[in-house]
Structure 1
Amino acid sequence: MIEKLPELVNGDERLVWRGRFLTVDFLIQVGDDSYLVSIQSGRIVSVERGPFYMRSWKFSVRAPAEAWEKLWDPVPRPGYTDILGVMKRGEARIEGDLQPLIANLRYMKEILATPRRLKGGH
């Protein structure tokens, strides 16, 4: 699902506009699988699958695959409506330099939830 982020995000001009001030590389970990996501001016320019050696990123968002699947349910149940809810439940970790994430929180929460669209959600 993470590999689909470029088409899901870049095809949504409203979402790209919301992230227009963000340029960052960050890591998403889904279970044992890691992905390095590069964003430039709100557009996802690449998603690379790990493992990664000698690479850097500003922050990481890590959760078990089951937690991501619950986040991506078409109508997620309470506690799984956004990544902060998953973190509050103790099922996700957000680590590193959090300034870019917090400064662009709505954009980041929306891009992390976009795989929900592949299951008929919004």
Structure 2
Amino acid sequence: MLDQLKDKVNEDTALVRRGRFVTTTFLIEVGAAQWLVSIVEGRVTSVARGPFVMPSWTFALRAPQDEWEKFWSANPQPGSNDLMALIRRRVLTAEGDLHVFMANLRYFKESLEKLRAARVAA
């Protein structure tokens, strides 16, 4: 699923503009699977799947696979609908240099929300 992140973020010009000062590499851990996401000036330049021997990243977001699936569902329930809600419930851990993550929190929230399943019109 994370392999779609590059296209979905880069085709959203408003999101790329919001992240124009973001240049970093971060790790997303979905259960046992690891992904390195590289961003340059708001554009996702690469999404690489692990395993990695010694990955270099600024910060890491780690959660069990079922929690990410809830977050990426079309209509996530309260507590699973936001990265900070996942952190508050202690199912998502954020570690490393969190300055980049917190300073650009809206950019990262909206970027990862791009992976949500398409909402079905009522």
Amino-acid identity (%):
49
**SS of the residue aligned with 1:115?**
coil
Taking the aligned partners of 2:85 and 2:113, their CA distance within structure 1 comes to: 12
The runs of 5 or more residues in structure 2 that have no matched partner are none
80-89 vs 94-103, which moves further? 80-89
Taking the aligned partners of 1:3 and 1:95, their CA distance within structure 2 comes to: 22
Regions of 4+ moved over 6 Å? none
Within a 5 Å distance, the mapping from 1:8-87 to structure 2 comes to: 8-87=8-87
**SS of the residue aligned with 2:114?**
helix
Taking the aligned partners of 2:43 and 2:57, their CA distance within structure 1 comes to: 17
**SS of the residue aligned with 1:29?**
strand
21-30 vs 73-82, which moves further? 73-82
* One-letter amino acid of the structure 2 residue matched with residue 120 of structure 1: A
In the alignment, which residue of structure 2 is the partner of 1:120? 118
1:59 Cα deviation from its structure 2 partner: 0.3
1:54 Cα deviation from its structure 2 partner: 2.4
Taking the aligned partners of 2:82 and 2:109, their CA distance within structure 1 comes to: 6
1:55 Cα deviation from its structure 2 partner: 2.4
- How many residue pairs get matched? 120
The runs of 5 or more residues in structure 1 that have no matched partner are none
The alignment's TM-score, normalised by the length of structure 2, stands at 0.94
Give the RMSD, CA atoms, in angstroms. Answer: 1.2
